Amino acid sequence: ARFSVKTLLEKYTADPIDDSSEEFVNFAAILEQILSHRFKGPVSWFSSDGQRGFWDYIRLACSKVTNNCISSIENMENISTSRAKGRAWIRVALMEKRMSEYISTALRDTRTTRCNHVSPRRRFYDDGAIMLREESAVLTGMLIGLSAIDFSFCLKGEEMDGKTPVVIDYTPYLKFTQTYDHLSEEEERGSVESSTSEDSTPEHPYLPLEDSWYNKWRKMEQKFRIVYAQKGYLEELVRLRESQLKDLEAENKRLKLRLEEVMVQNQLEKRELEGVILELQEQL
């Protein structure tokens, strides 16, 4: 997942990423596999098509997200199967730049993810699932960086019918992709030798200078894209932390009120007991 997010960030320019991007296709397939890993039960009575998929988990666990897209996806006429709705949700969440928020909210809803004093029907994942491991929290952090990317999808076509199998191409992750700060020593040595050699005079003396400026421009462009992505990541992280802080403050306030109520109730019970003791003493 980390490599797929990294390739998306490196691929992104000024143009939005769509379904034609191989990097996105790979990322969507990997995310779908993560959400489907050790998913409990192939059949569900509450799925429209009888098949249970990660969408059934998402629509419950993310129902508390403010202004969520759950109902919009449920009402899409051209998307009927659970798998197709799950794929539509991935695309809509990316276009909304809220994928990390959705996943974070889902993970906080442990009553839906796990089986903690609830009906077994609400347990969606078996033991050992990625969504039940500590790695799931790392996934949330990685997805924040995607808020720096603009996505544009058409929620129709073969990708959305739910019948197309999920295929992950691991080839891009086996190759070493050079970035502006990972130039090989051989290239650097070669560029220095070609520019400082006194024995050989280039046939076109201005070409090395042009190449040098072009390489500098490329490095600056890549550096800008990385810094821009980091900026978006930090902004989204701050927004997420502010949201979590508000939730914690509200929970703290609720607990304080509850504590005050318990203390008042305790005082009342104490007075009642004192009164009962006095009555018993008078009777004796």
User: Do the Cβ atoms of 229 and 145 come closer than 8 Å?
Assistant: yes
Are 148 and 229 spatial neighbours (Cβ–Cβ below 8 Å)? yes
pTM over 0.75: no
* pLDDT at residue 228 in the model: 75
Tokens of 66: 């403010």
Cβ atoms of 223 and 180 within 8 Å: the answer is: yes
Q: How far is the C-alpha of 135 from the C-alpha of 29, rounded, in Å?
A: 18
Q: Where are the alpha helices (DSSP H) in the chain?
A: 2-11, 22-36, 54-61, 70-74, 82-95, 99-108, 110-113, 135-144, 171-174, 185-196, 207-283
How far the first Cα of the chain sits from its last, in Å, is: 77
Q: Which letter does DSSP use for residue 166 in this model? A: P
Low-confidence ranges of the chain (pLDDT < 50): 43-49, 116-122, 176-207
Amino acid sitting at position 68: N
Backbone torsions φ then ψ of 83, nearest 5 degrees: -65, -40
Residue 11 confidence (pLDDT): 72
Residues 49 and 81 sit within 8 Å (Cβ to Cβ) = yes
Residue-level pLDDT at 66? 86
Beta bridge partners of 17: 151
Whose CA is closest to 71, among 59, 61, 81?
Answer: 59
Provide DSSP, 26-75: HHHHHHHHHHHTTBS-SB-TTSTTSB--HHHHHHHHTTTSTT-SHHHHHT
- Report how far residue 156's alpha carbon sits from residue 173's, in angstroms, rounded to the nearest whole number: 29
**Contact indicator for 32, 166 with CB cutoff of 8 Å:** yes
pLDDT for position 227: 77
The residue whose two tokens read 């701050």 is 238
Q: How far apart are CA 228 and CA 203, in angstroms?
A: 40
pLDDT at 260: 93
